[in-house]
Every structure is written in C-alpha cells, then in structure tokens.
A and B are shown apart, each in its own frame.
Chain A
Amino acid sequence: MTIDKTALRHLAGLLEQRTGQQIGPNRLWRVETVLKSLMRERGIANLDALVAAIGAAHDMTLATDVVEALLNNETFFFRDAQAFELVRNGALEALRQARASSRRISIWCAGCSTGQEAYSLAMIFADARAKWDGWSIDITATDVSEAAIAKARGGYYSQFEIQRGLPVSSMLKWFDQVGHDWRVKRDLARYLRFRRHNVLMAQTGSFDLILCRNVLLYFSPERRREAFDRLAASLAPDGYLMLGAGETVIGQTEAFASSPELRGLYRKTAALRVKAA
C-alpha cells in the first residue's frame, strides 16, 4: 500500500491542533481506513483530495467530521477488570473513610469515549446501593469527541457493544431492551453527567477520584505534562488518579507519584510530601 505522507501529516496536524492528540506511527496506516466512509459519502477520491477539500471549505464542518473520525473511541464495559477491582476495593474504600462526614464523593471520568467506562463505574455504586445509601455520588464523564459524548448521553448500545465486557446479569439488571439494542435505565444513568471537554482545558470542580485511562498516551510529552497539571488542579489533596493499564506518571510529570498504600493509583506529589514531613 502506498501512503501519501504529505496528506497524512496534514491530517495528523489537524487532529493535534484541534484535540492535542497525536497519531502514533502504529496507527498511521489506519487513517485511510477510518476516513473511508466519510470520503465515500462526500465523493472524495483519496487523502490528497480530502486535504484539498478541507482547505477549500467555507466552514469547519468537514474538518470537524474528519477530526471526529480520527479519534479512537475504542472502549468496552469493565475494560481491564483489575482496574475496576482497584477502584471498588481500594480507592472507594479509602474515600469512604476519608469522606465519612460529608458523605459526598465526586468522580471524574476523563476521556470517557462512548460511556462504557463511566457506566461501569456507576454500576459499582448501583450494585451496592445499601452500602452507599445516604451518600451523594456524582460522576462527571467527559470526552473531546462530540459524537462519543452524544452516544454516551443517549445510553443506547448495540448487542455487540454491550456484550463486550458486561456480564449478562448486569445487562439484564441495568439496561432495557429496545428493539435489538439496549438502553441504560434511569437508576443507573442518574449517577452520571456527560459533557464535552478536552483534558487539556481547565476543568471546574474538585474531584476525589479521577480516571484518565488510555487518553494521555495520545499526547506529546509536553501536552501530557500540561494534562497532568490540569488533572492535579482538579483533584482533591487526598484524591486518587487512575491511568490506563500500560500508563505511568514516572518520567512524565512531577505532579503525581505512586500511592504508597494503593498500588496502581497515583496521588498528588504535594499531598504526599506534606504527609511525609
């Protein structure tokens, strides 16, 4: 396959300019594939012609659609089961003690894609309703993709999407079948608020737990550092950060360090220093 490097560079530049995300060398070859249906719909023959069309367009619609298509929305329910165990038995148990008087926990799911991770998180609380009775639980879930957020908010999943990672018992418990698809029940959706947001932008509010999984790997080292600073600014002094399975803060930022008590979670460096002093 011949890849037009100039067009690819241009499209990669457009994505980074709009979202901060880079296209890794291992995903460059997929660009043409993910843009195929968009190009077919508009009668655009190849990547060169697409770049020319973006340049000639009078509005940003085409550029926005291209950016949306280039974003990787791959996700599934309870992706990485160990991570969810660490949230359930580690972070939330610690926060349950730390917030015993306010009985209020707020969580930010940064880069929630089409919502599966955020709904999985909500199920941790909804499945243990008696335990969390009297607590105020808020999950803010954000993503840079408008289309992903719209889908997450709608809460509709096809059978193929829902069966990736979700136990059938949870599917029957928290979703209603609508035609061949499944729609999230109000009792689960009420924990969540979905909003479009780029993790490089300022976030309002202070969170006790932030999940930012498989998001920062798409950023350049400088942008990643900026994102870590943003996350630190949004995290409570005694809060926890969780990254994706293959991600770390080591060598990436000084704002976070590994939690000494809960392996796999990160704490704000400033808070750990105070504690050690």
Chain B
Amino acid sequence: MKTCLVVDDSKVIRKVARHILETLDFEVAEAGDGRDALTHCEATPPDVVLLDWNMPVMSGMEFLKALSATDLPKRPKVVFCTTENGIGHIKAAIEAGADEYVMKPFDRDTIASKLQIVGLA
C-alpha cells in the first residue's frame, strides 16, 4: 500500500485530506507541523507528502529545505497545498524542491491527478 503523510496545522484539512487519500487506497499518517513531519519522514519515509505552507514551529518551506538536507535513500514526493496561488509562491515552492502545487480547498479529482503526475497512481 502506498503511503502519504498529511502535514497541516488544521485538523479539519488533515481530516478531509485523509478521507480523500483513503478512497485512493493510500495509507495515511498525519503531522501538525514541519518538525513532526520531518521526524516522521526520517523514521518511516512515506511515498508522498501533502504539505501545508503556513504552520507553527516549522513552516512548509523550512520542512522542504530540511527534507532535502536529509540523507534519505528515497526522498518522498512533495505536493504543496496552500491557500496562495501567486506565481512567486509557486515558483519558490518548486525551486525549494516541491514536485507539485495545489491551492486549497482541493477535491478528490485534483489530488488524484496530482498523485498521478508525481507517479503514484
């Protein structure tokens, strides 16, 4: 079973994402901030991370940079999920190593298509 880590400080968003991912046959784990997410990735690296931008403790961007610095044998795919769609934001996310970008609120078709694009469907 493919695995996905949902990283978001909003419990509601995590719940919605979990539901969508489970219907897509993913095993889902959750983290409430970038630090938690990094710990999780180092212990049990998922196939893909759905990543919020704004979070306390460690933001999505900081997490992405820290993730790139780890020596995981296989870096998880990262889909940034944010409330911003400014082109500057999008480019910054891609440059920092995100594989895909989604603006919230997302639906099942969008998530399914992005997972397929990063090679996980």
Is A bound to B? yes
Chain A residues packing against B (C-beta within 8 Å):
76-78, 81, 159-160, 163-165, 167-169, 172, 177, 180
Contact call B116/A172, Cβ cutoff below 8 A: no
Among A76, A160, A168, A172, the one with the most B-chain Cβ atoms within 10 Å of its Cβ is A168
Contacting residues, chain A, for B116 (C-beta < 8 A): 81
Give chain B's interface secondary structure class. helix
- Which of B15-23, B44-52, B68-76, B98-106 is found at the contact surface with chain A? B98-106
Among B86, B100, B117, the one with the most A-chain Cβ atoms within 10 Å of its Cβ is B117
Give A172 to B85 CA distance when docked, in angstroms. 12
Contacting residues, chain A, for B110 (C-beta < 8 A): 160, 163-164
B40 within 8 A of A: no
Give A76 to B102 CA distance when docked, in angstroms. 15
Contact call A163/B90, Cβ cutoff below 8 A: no
Closest residue of chain A to B94, judged by CB?
A168
Contact call B117/A167, Cβ cutoff below 8 A: yes
B91 within 8 A of A: yes
Q: How far is the CB of A181 from chain B (nearest CB, A)?
A: 9
Contact call B87/A177, Cβ cutoff below 8 A: yes
Contacting residues, chain A, for B90 (C-beta < 8 A): 168, 172
Contact call A159/B85, Cβ cutoff below 8 A: yes
Contact call A163/B117, Cβ cutoff below 8 A: no
Give A160 to B107 CA distance when docked, in angstroms. 9
Give 9 new A-B contacts, CB below 8 A, not counting A163-B110, A164-B113, A172-B91: A81-B116, A160-B103, A164-B109, A167-B117, A168-B94, A168-B100, A168-B101, A172-B94, A177-B87
